[in-house]
A and B are shown apart, each in its own frame.
Chain A
Amino acid sequence: MPLADARAICPSLETRAADLVRKAAALAALRRWASRYALMVVTDGSDGLIADISGVAHLFGGEEDLRADLQSRLDRAGITGVSAIAGTRGAAYALARNGGGVIPDGLLAEGIGRLPITALRVDPDTTGALSRLGLNQIRDILPLPRAPLSRRFGPGLLLRLDQALGVQAEPVAATPEAPHFGVRMTLPEPIGLQTDVMAGLRRLLDRLCDTLALHHMGARRVRLELRRVDRGSVRVEIGLARPMRDPNRIEALFRKGVDEIDAGFGIDALRLSVPIAEPLAPEQIGRDPTVPHEDALADLISRLGNRIGFDRVLRFLPAGSKIPERSFLLAPASCSEPAEAFPRTDPERPITLFPPEAITVSGGRSGRPPVSFTWRRMRFSTLRATGPERIAREWWFDDPAWRSGLRDYWRIETREGPRFWLFHTPQAFARPAPSGAQNWYAQGEFA
């Protein structure tokens, strides 16, 4: 039913956009819960679960009781679900989408005979063609000769029919569980000493790193949760500059955090988990001399980042802009690779860049560099001027600093020594006479 029709019937209808990601997560959670009924439970499409309950039903008192138990639990949780039990996966699929129920053993053909052909997991074209022929229910095609049916509608229809009837096997293959990187330890007596916590952490780390190595993963963040006797909990979290699973190096980073925690009346449980893990292939150690160097550098970035913050350990990356302030990026070193080469721009750029500072100029014709100027209360006289280099604003950005229009940059060598990067804004209104009457600014210093 289109939404407009539904609105016409029920004006107060509430609508919400489908959130497929959260739906899939909810289905995955339901799958974990449903594993209480069978070992093999897999998601079936975007809206179904299929479980292989061979040899399980008697534990719940029979198939009817198992289904009743499942339904009552779903109802209690507020989940609207339809369930069906049948001898084959295809039959269970068909029945679950058409009212649900239980098909007893040996009555498969009768059980699904009254269901529409659309329940057979065949494509809509086939079902449309079948309905034009007057074949709407599964029992309509059961007595038909197979060869013409296959010739006309392709092998897919008969395959699905055979699967539903159990002629063709269709097992339920359980998907592997996603690896869980978390270990915990419960202590018979509370501990409070820092060395004891570190010893416990060391045992957990060894186990955690073994698990990580098994799955070829490395940790990017590691979290240690300590439960105290008084039910309080403290948490120490560290970040790593690159994926890592070396217990010695991770342990060293925890030392400062463990030093600062308040143990209260004692700690009786430790839990270590990896909130963020990234793939880390096994690598040969001891051969390549660059690897220890990179490791040592990553260790330094981790140590620095955990104290001063990973957003304060930076590195330059090139950016494609002619505007000096935007010609580079400062990116956190922990999540960026060093740039290969920086283009050295021509004409020369200063080594130091600062926000434009107005200077007081005297002498010089309009638009030409000043004969002398005052910057930060120091007086300089021009010895040599190179320029101008005209840089226009990027009109697609509204940068307040560039509202004064284009800039003419000059490299000014002064008699006093320092070499400045000055610019003039010819498009801006000149300031009144006492402050210099010209729009000159200093923005950088050369080597």
Chain B
Amino acid sequence: MRDLPHTALRPTTSADTLALAGGRVHEAQGKGRRAFALFQAARHPGQVVWVFPDHAQQLLLPGGLPQDLPARLMLLRPRGETDLLWSLEEALRAAPIALVIAEPEKPLSLTAGRRLQLAAEAGQTTGLVLVRDGQGSNAAETRWLCEAQAASAPDSTLHDWSLIKNKNGTIRRWVVSWNGASAAFDMVSATGERGQPADPPG
């Protein structure tokens, strides 16, 4: 049996529960998956590669991305699914890349998923594959279900990010307030819990 790379075994610290383990490929699904990918991109300093299908209509608007992201973002628009997976693997294998985000069209096969994991281990690069609901691969390290949530206060932008698969830990659910401008975010306490200490009696 192969030894897992040490990065995969490194537990994510409690202070940073939303961090993706390095050198592995993760998946995100749900309508808010792009926001989640941008949140992760803002938290990875260094070059970020985003792989789109050739005919994708929904593109990113640099004016709305986190502060310094457009300058270090490289977009790939390969023709066809094979080239998309090849570019994704090639980018994962390259050392100077911090994060690779890909939006494949078809469900990943088990072979493809495993290849991507090996490539990410070889390059020590984090990968994030944005999949449609139920199209994920079994080889993924974690899978996140991301939805936008309506906020009661006008200045908060709530995201409901739940970890629905985790190979090295438990699954959880977070409601995060993140406005999309920087890497800073606020955890929103779950219903029924107090965010601040109660007023002293009397």
Contacts and interface: CB of A to CB of B under 8 A. Distances in A.
Interface of A: 293, 296-297, 299-301, 303-304, 307-309, 312-316, 318, 324, 327-328, 330, 333, 338-345, 348-355, 383-384, 413-419, 444-447
A243 to B, nearest CB: 19
Given A297-B47, A314-B77, A417-B147, A328 B71 contact: no
The 7 closest A-B pairs by CB, nearest first: A447-B180, A349-B64, A349-B63, A417-B148, A353-B61, A447-B35, A308-B78
B173 to A, nearest CB: 15
Given A296-B94, A383-B150, A447-B180, A350 B64 contact: yes
A444 B180 CA distance: 14
A300 B62 contact: no
Interface in B2-44: 31-32, 34-35, 38-39
A332 to B, nearest CB: 10
14 contacts: A300-B96, A301-B74, A304-B90, A308-B77, A313-B76, A339-B70, A342-B65, A351-B34, A351-B65, A353-B58, A355-B57, A413-B151, A419-B148, A444-B64
B17 to A, nearest CB: 19
A335 to B, nearest CB: 14
Contact of B61 (A297, A350, A414): A350
Contacts of B135: none
A416 B160 CA distance: 12
A316 B75 contact: yes
Given A300-B96, A308-B76, A447-B180, A413 B150 contact: yes
B75 A314 contact: yes
A307 B86 CA distance: 9
B96 to A, nearest CB: 4
B162 interface: no
B67 interface: yes
A157 to B, nearest CB: 63
Majority secondary structure, A binding face: mixed
A304 B154 CA distance: 44
Contacts of A307: 83, 86-87
Contacts of A342: 62-63, 65, 70-71
Interface in B69-92: 70-79, 83, 86-87, 90-91
B80 to A, nearest CB: 9
A340 B178 CA distance: 25
Contact of B76 (A304, A344, A384): A304
A333 B73 CA distance: 10
B61 A300 contact: no
Interface of B: 31-32, 34-35, 38-39, 47, 54, 57-65, 67-68, 70-79, 83, 86-87, 90-91, 94-97, 147-151, 154, 157, 159-160, 178-181
A88 to B, nearest CB: 63
Nearest to B94: A300
B91 A300 contact: yes
Contact of A314 (B68, B74, B97): B74
Contacts of B71: 316, 338-342
Contacts of B159: 447
A352 B68 CA distance: 17
B94 A345 contact: no
A351 B74 contact: no
A344 B181 contact: yes
A41 B57 CA distance: 60
A312 B76 contact: yes
Contact of A304 (B79, B87, B96): B87
B61 A446 contact: no
Contacts of B157: 419, 446-447
Instruction: Choose among B34, B72, B91, B96 the residue with the greatest number of A CB atoms under 10 Å from its CB.
Output: B96
Contact of A300 (B73, B77, B90): B90
Contacts of A415: 150
A378 B196 CA distance: 37
A304 B94 CA distance: 11
Most buried by B among A312, A314, A330, A351: A351
Contacts of A445: 34
Nearest to A324: B61
Contacts of A315: 73-75
B77 A414 contact: no
Contacts of A341: 68, 71
A384 B153 CA distance: 10
A304 B91 contact: yes
Contacts of A316: 60, 62, 70-71, 73, 75
Given A304-B87, A444-B61, A444-B64, 19 more contacts: A297-B97, A300-B91, A300-B96, A304-B90, A308-B78, A312-B78, A314-B74, A315-B75, A344-B63, A349-B61, A349-B63, A351-B35, A351-B38, A352-B61, A353-B64, A413-B151, A445-B34, A447-B34, A447-B39
Contacts of A293: 96
A349 B35 CA distance: 13
Contacts of B38: 351, 447
Contacts of A349: 61, 63-64
